[in-house]
Amino acid sequence: MHRILIVDDEESIRFAMSEYFKAHRYIVDCAQNVQEAEASLAEHSYSVVIADLRLEGFGDLGGLEVIRLVHEH
């Protein structure tokens, strides 16, 4: 089964996307910030990472920071 990581600072977005992918039989992990995403990436391998480009506290660089972390792991 495939595992997806959803990174978004808006709870409603994380919830909606999580429910959608769970209904399609994916294992879904969520993170609300770069630090949580980094911890999840260290613990699991993901088939797909969906990241908000504008995470709170990171301006326009939040999603890009997540991409950098994905490449590191």
The whole-number pLDDT of residue 58 equals: 57
Cβ atoms of 26 and 4 closer than 8 Å: yes
CB 50 within 8 A of CB 10: no
Strand, helix or coil for residue 3? strand
pLDDT tens per residue across span 30-70: 999 888 999 999 999 999 999 988 776 655 566 677 777 77
Q: Which residues pair with 29 in a beta bridge?
A: 5
- Greater confidence (19 vs 33) lies with 19
Predicted TM-score (pTM) of the model is: 0.85
